[in-house]
Amino acid sequence: QVQLVESGGGLVQAGGSLGLSCTASGSIFSIYAMGWYRQAPGKQRELVAAISNGGGANYADFVRGRFTTSRDNAKNTVYLQMNSLKPEDTAVYYCNADVLYGGGRRAVFWGQGTQVTVSS
């Protein structure tokens, strides 16, 4: 009933920038927090950034000062602007959303992921 789709991944040189977006669709009443996670081969999935429905954001220490997350509630979309990228940022990036949807249900949904590759 709810789908999340990420876009904007790709190849970039170290020190460069890349912007990601994620849009939720379906029988949505409201969205609470939205977030970004990433997973590199052989590593666990880790939190990158999270943003509340009021716009307050939290960041992992390894991206603070380089990445910025924002959201457009009217579009059910969350963004991740990534600057000063490092090779260790290479990973599949996933968005998620805490959603109140049809029938009064609440659950966290995940997108399919988008690949970000940073060359050295």
pLDDT digit string (tens) for 53-107?
Answer: 999 999 999 998 999 999 999 999 999 999 999 999 999 999 999 999 998 999 9
The closest alpha carbon to 93, from 75, 69, 58, belongs to 69
What is residue 47's predicted lDDT score, i.e. its pLDDT?
A: 97
What is residue 98's predicted lDDT score, i.e. its pLDDT?
A: 98
Go through the chain and tell me how many residues it has. Answer: 120
Q: CA–CA separation, 65 vs 56, rounded Å?
A: 15
CA distances (Å), 25 to each of 30, 46, 74, in order? 11, 24, 12
What is residue 50's predicted lDDT score, i.e. its pLDDT?
A: 98
What is residue 62's predicted lDDT score, i.e. its pLDDT?
A: 95
Token reading at 108: 């966290």
Mean pLDDT, the chain, integer = 97
